[in-house]
Structure 1
Amino acid sequence: MVLRVLLIFLLCLPGPVLAGSSAEAMAKRPELFDPATGYRIDRQRAPTPEDIPPPARLVDTEEAAALIAAGALVLDVYGASQSRFDELDGTWLVSQQRLSLPGALWLPETGRGWLEPVLQTYLVDNLARATGGDMARPIVVYCIADCWMSWNAAQRIAALGYEAVYWYRLGTDGWLDAGRALFPVDPVPVNVE
């Protein structure tokens, strides 16, 4: 009886809200998207779509875990508090410790709809360093549930020529909901020299 009640309770828990397909989201609110790139440029914290344009691919928690276990680059693009880095030394201004997936590389703000040139370089350089220049190395990109920054970042990384980009739309929320552990991670400083 207790198991039955627990199962009913779990089935009634709300999951992340879906925005339908990405094409539907763009058609419904075109002003939220860059017409040239298709990236979401406003209201990043909102229900995300149930798809991502190819060549990036959507993965669930089990698929993300399998990719990570097989050596994929684990890329967190969650925004840093105050959304800025110190322009003198490149450190990010964060108000609290970020907990992320195991082995994560945290590149804050690289999922914005438009990147300043310094952040574009930050993304490109850190991807090259983390992959050793291997454009075929799998990359799992995520943020938190209901956030478009990872959707943007996954497409941006695929546009750079990386061949195996996976969008984990549930992010740290989905990972934790699946009973998996999160670990402290620090943002990679920006090279300001």
Structure 2
Amino acid sequence: MSERDKKFEDPQLAINRVYTRKGDSGQTSLVGGQRVPKTAARIDSYGTVDELNAIIGMCRQTLIDEHGDNDAFDELAHTLLRVQHELFNLGSILATLPEDIGEKMPRVDETDVAALEASIDKMNEELPELRSFVLPGGSRLNAELHLGRTVCRRAERKTVALAETEEVDPNAIAYLNRLSDALFVWSRWAAVKGSGADEVLWDPNLSAGSSA
């Protein structure tokens, strides 16, 4: 791929040392160089996206460890890796004030959202009809994907909160919304296609209070 054909610009950075001591005052820098408190809504938003990226990486590694010899899981492994790159693109745009965003700056867009929707539709067709809420469990991969789903919802809430006071690309919110749905479907698919065990369904009468 030539430089002209690239959709986004390549990273322009060199990481020579890990610590700089600049954050000891409780502030950090945005992509444009502005210093802001680490408690700022924008930092909270892309920090949660970063947390989500780490969980997706954990899910992918669990998939490889548990199902690396199962060709049926290859597509999901590739999808999870793609999502990690997309989340980094999303974090990049969230870490940048609107006035500093360049034309070729990495971001998520309608194509990324549509790819998630296609994956949801394809895998959902292979799943049995759901007649109750499901609980995380049944396999490690299923539980980790559910963990990713809950953190993704939190990232979405943080980003929506940011959008209430600052300009945010609508595709950022749409992407996180669709990704949380995808993680739910992927968790079900992993349970059904992995161990073949029944999904853990919510039963309100299994609580301690139900038999009191």
What TM-score bracket applies, with the shorter chain setting the length?
under 0.3
Q: Scaled by the length of structure 2, what TM-score is found?
A: 0.25
Determine which structure has greater relative contact order: mean sequence separation of CA pairs < 8 Å that are 6+ residues apart, divided by chain length. Answer: 1
Structure in which a larger fraction of residues adopt helix? 2
Q: Scaled by the length of structure 1, what TM-score is found?
A: 0.27
Which structure has the larger Rg?
2
Structure in which a larger fraction of residues adopt strand? 1
